Chain A
Amino acid sequence: MENSRFIVSSSPHIRAGETTQRVMLDVILALMPALLAGILYFGFKALTVTIVAVVFAVAAEAAMQKLMKRPVTINDLSAAVTGVLLAFNLPVTAPLWMVAIGSIFAIVIAKQCFGGLGYNFINPALAARAMLLASWPVRMTNWVTPGADAVSTATPLALVKEGIQYAQGVPAAAGGEAAGQVLPSLTQLFMGSIGGCIGETSALALLLGGAYLMYRGVISYRIPASYIGTVAVLALLFGKFDFYLMVYHLVSGGLFLGAFFMATDYSTSPMTAKGQIIMGIGCGLLTAVIRFFGGYPEGVSYSILLMNIATPLIDRYTMPKKFGEVKKSA
């Protein structure tokens, strides 16, 4: 049957099946192993925190868009991703009202106020974490040991900072405030049965998710590899070539969560290939400096936030050399 009118448009006339929604769904799927690990280690409260964070993030996005008379785009799932990531950056002991405030801050202030998806200049989940940490420092660092008989603990990196000693995987007792506490083993760190934020403890689960994202082409290896690589080199250097300490730094403190899921956030990381490597190296450098020389045991979230701010500049100065720019053959 012939239409009276055909669609006339500019080429191309076919589009790839990839959509924003599919990209975001992939990120959510990639975060699921870490969520399962979080529930396994910290109980169902971990799931509750995550759900509350997602619900408030999505609701805040819809409400804000309604308020600004813009099309409501919660179907693109980007607000849900922010919710999950925020929950992953909170201790399981976080009160739910605080989680809700974090979600609202992430979406309303960090994302929608700057124009919404793609226009925010800092990672909304990390911005919210920083805000919460500044506002409720005690509640935000109330770590517990995994398991049913959860007791107060410190994160492995905090223990390292306080001078807890170890020798080839066998932690030794030490003096200082944290006396009596022992350092978790590398296996514990890798599996995630340690104190820390809901989604940051299991290096294994995060690695699985990161591999999935790379397989799906959602992220490239550039930021995670250069980030983790830089931390490895600097930890070795700053730690006086203590190989064990280097591995310890890699699998703890949310480095994998940051490297695979936070530093790769599209809106706030460079788009150029060279820029992404600079982003990774910059994050790695800042993380290592904060961890070794700063007053703060974990440096991942602040280093990413700092590099977020540098992103527009990085993009500008790493514009790829265009094809045919080299020589003018006579």
Chain B
Amino acid sequence: MNIRTLTFKGGTHPPHSKKATEMHAVERTLEPKLVIIPMQQHIGAPCEPIVKAGDEVKLGQKIGEAKGFVSVPVHSSVSGRVVSVEPRLYTGGTVVTCVVIESDMQNTVHPDIAPKGDIENLTADEIKTIIKDAGIVGMGGAAFPTHVKLAPPPDKKVDTVILNGAECEPYLTADHRLMLESPEDVVDGLKALMKALGVKKGFIGIEVNKPDAIEVIYNAAKGIEGIEVVALKTKYPQGAEKQLIYACTGREVPSGGLPADAGVVVNNVGTAAAVAKAIKTGMPLVERIVTITGAGVKTPKNLMVKIGTSFREVVEQCGGLNGQVGKIVAGGPMMGITQFSLDVPVIKGTSGILILSEQEARLPKPSNCIRCGKCIDVCPINLMPINISANALLDRFEQAEGLHAMDCIECGSCSFVCPAKRPLVDSIRVAKREILARRKKAQSK
């Protein structure tokens, strides 16, 4: 195996904390009795529910219709009866319309669901349609509709697809296990994505702390023309889109631009596997691998979870909560979103459920900035986080914008390293929101 080890400038080294689950093969969760399926699981326009209380639904049946181009349909992950269509709390921290379905435990598959044929025999447009109809979104966490990425503006010349298998978030091992257990799906998914975009070059980037995954994927992709497996240095945020593109191709996505501006489309390995599955089986995206981990859970596991299963049910299948729990995080510790409650459903973008103990979750008390400059050293975008933050905290948003606040990718490296425990990325987020709001206001005038 002769592969290159690549990386980007900056970044930091949080403890991996992956030992608890990286050797645990993916298990299936027990059939949920009730699923809560949000109509908004993706970035973009929410879906319109097309079922109502009392309706019978089958596994894989479409229950939410996409509204607009940047949107994807939502499907039932069980067969059974719709109990209600009502607003419920979801992992985004707000309340959205959800379809609540009681399972009949039969998993009767919807009759329309059938294999779509060989990737070789499908056209690019057919692949795009399958991806859109299967409700596939970015599985790494951001949940951006995949078919939108596959339709770059005509003036952007895309020549490369990169699969993100970096899994640079500490604790999470869902992508790692997926690569070990379903390497063919990952590689076939990449082939389908390359065909849909009409490109000849594909990369699969994996951090070197997963040598087994690199080997398995390397073997699965051996002999396939145009696909290169790339070993990435273990460093956070190696899996950030722009950093990954730089590591694999040496290209910089221009400030404010899209990956397509650098001729690249990036997808998560999980997304690629979902694409392959949708083509091979016809089953839309109704389940995903979730890493349930952290000191606050008794037996950390990787589980195949049906979309809509509540966090509570999933955690119970990992032995339940352990000791005093401080924080529930949907996703990883660097960029995940904290939850008010365990009664939220797993959605398409839920890569992990991280449960931190009360002690780990305690918020550090910020003190004076000592101007050590560590935030500047680690910023993968070469910003000066402390200066943006200092301005943001004084409501000086124009100055924050002048210091390129809008280029911040919110990876959290600055807050992580800060010895004074300053709320750096937090205040930059506030500045970004404020700057966007002002831009909008200026436009509407």
- Interface residues of chain A, those whose CB is within 8 Å of chain B, are 1-3, 6-16, 18-20, 22-23, 73, 76, 78, 116-119, 266-267, 269-273, 276, 319-330
A322: chain B residues at CB < 8 Å are: 255, 381-383, 404, 407
Q: Is the CB of A13 within 8 A of B367?
A: no
Q: Is the CB of B384 within 8 A of A319?
A: yes
Residues in B390-426 with C-beta less than 8 Å from chain A? 403-404, 407, 410, 412, 415-421, 423, 425-426
Partner of A7, one of B327, B376, B429: B327
A48 to B372 CA separation, bound complex (whole angstroms): 31
Q: Is the CB of B324 within 8 A of A3?
A: yes
Interface stretch among B94-102, B112-120, B190-198, B355-363?
B355-363
| Residue B341, interface by CB 8 Å | yes
Closest to B384 in A: A319
Given A9-B338, A118-B371, A328-B257, A14 contacting B416 (CB threshold 8 A): yes
Partner of B333, one of A12, A118, A326, A328: A12
Given A1-B323, A6-B327, A324-B255, A271 contacting B336 (CB threshold 8 A): no
A3 to B327 CA separation, bound complex (whole angstroms): 10
A20 to B333 CA separation, bound complex (whole angstroms): 23
Can you list 22 A-B pairs, Cβ within 8 angstroms, ordered by A? A1-B323, A6-B326, A7-B363, A8-B93, A8-B338, A13-B333, A13-B361, A14-B360, A16-B419, A19-B420, A19-B421, A20-B368, A22-B419, A23-B370, A73-B367, A276-B373, A319-B403, A322-B404, A322-B407, A323-B252, A323-B381, A326-B252
Top 6 A-B pairs, shortest CB-CB distance: A271-B373, A12-B412, A324-B255, A320-B382, A13-B333, A118-B368
Closest to A116 in B: B368
**CB proximity of B408 to chain A, nearest CB, Å:** 10
Q: Is the CB of B333 within 8 A of A11?
A: yes
Partner of A23, one of B328, B358, B372: B372
Partner of B425, one of A12, A18, A22, A271: A12
| Residue B386, interface by CB 8 Å | yes
Q: Mark B123-135, 1 if CB is under 8 A from A, else 0.
A: 0000000000000
A200 to B416 CA separation, bound complex (whole angstroms): 36
| Residue B122, interface by CB 8 Å | no
Q: Mark B289-328, 1 if CB is under 8 A from A, else 0.
A: 0000000000000000000000000000000010111111
**CB proximity of A26 to chain B, nearest CB, Å:** 11
| Residue B14, interface by CB 8 Å | yes
**CB proximity of A223 to chain B, nearest CB, Å:** 11
**CB proximity of A213 to chain B, nearest CB, Å:** 12
A119 to B371 CA separation, bound complex (whole angstroms): 9
Q: Is the CB of B371 within 8 A of A271?
A: yes
| Residue B111, interface by CB 8 Å | no
Given A118-B371, A320-B382, A324-B253, A15 contacting B339 (CB threshold 8 A): no
Q: Is the CB of A324 within 8 A of B325?
A: no
Q: Mark B335-357, 1 if CB is under 8 A from A, else 0.
A: 11111111000000000001010
A-B Cβ contacts below 8 A, count: 178
18 new A-B contacts at CB < 8 Å, known A15-B416, A267-B370, A322-B381: A6-B328, A8-B93, A11-B425, A13-B329, A14-B170, A14-B333, A14-B334, A15-B421, A118-B371, A266-B372, A266-B373, A267-B371, A319-B403, A320-B376, A320-B384, A328-B254, A328-B257, A329-B262
A327 to B253 CA separation, bound complex (whole angstroms): 9
A272: chain B residues at CB < 8 Å are: 373, 376, 384
B64: chain A residues at CB < 8 Å are: none
**CB proximity of A17 to chain B, nearest CB, Å:** 9
A269 to B362 CA separation, bound complex (whole angstroms): 32
How many B residues touch the partner, as a band?
35 or more
A16 to B14 CA separation, bound complex (whole angstroms): 7
Interface residue SS majority, chain B: loop
A22: chain B residues at CB < 8 Å are: 419
User: Which of B363, B377, B383, B419 has the most C-beta atoms of chain A within 10 angstroms of its own C-beta?
Assistant: B419
Q: Is the CB of A323 within 8 A of B382?
A: yes
A16 to B236 CA separation, bound complex (whole angstroms): 13
B337: chain A residues at CB < 8 Å are: 11
Partner of B338, one of A7, A15, A320, A324: A7
**CB proximity of A245 to chain B, nearest CB, Å:** 35
Given A9-B363, A23-B372, A323-B382, A2 contacting B339 (CB threshold 8 A): no
B22: chain A residues at CB < 8 Å are: none
B149: chain A residues at CB < 8 Å are: none
| Residue B50, interface by CB 8 Å | no
Q: Is the CB of A329 within 8 A of B382?
A: no
A118 to B386 CA separation, bound complex (whole angstroms): 12
Partner of A118, one of B329, B362, B363, B369: B369
A118 to B366 CA separation, bound complex (whole angstroms): 13
Q: Is the CB of A118 within 8 A of B370?
A: yes
Partner of B340, one of A6, A20, A273: A6
| Residue B155, interface by CB 8 Å | yes
A328 to B252 CA separation, bound complex (whole angstroms): 9
Q: Is the CB of B421 within 8 A of A117?
A: no
User: Which of B256, B335, B382, B418 has the most C-beta atoms of chain A within 10 angstroms of its own C-beta?
Assistant: B382
User: Which of A73, A117, A119 has the most C-beta atoms of chain B within 10 angstroms of its own C-beta?
Assistant: A117
A7: chain B residues at CB < 8 Å are: 326-327, 338, 361-363
**CB proximity of B59 to chain A, nearest CB, Å:** 31
Closest to B253 in A: A324
Given A6-B326, A321-B382, A323-B380, A329 contacting B254 (CB threshold 8 A): yes
B257: chain A residues at CB < 8 Å are: 324, 328
A271: chain B residues at CB < 8 Å are: 371-373, 376, 384, 386
User: Which of A11, A23, A319, A327 has the most C-beta atoms of chain B within 10 angstroms of its own C-beta?
Assistant: A11
Given A6-B325, A118-B369, A324 contacting B252 (CB threshold 8 A): yes
Closest to B356 in A: A13
Closest to B320 in A: A2
A10 to B252 CA separation, bound complex (whole angstroms): 28
A1 to B326 CA separation, bound complex (whole angstroms): 11
User: Which of A14, A19, A20, A329 has the most C-beta atoms of chain B within 10 angstroms of its own C-beta?
Assistant: A14
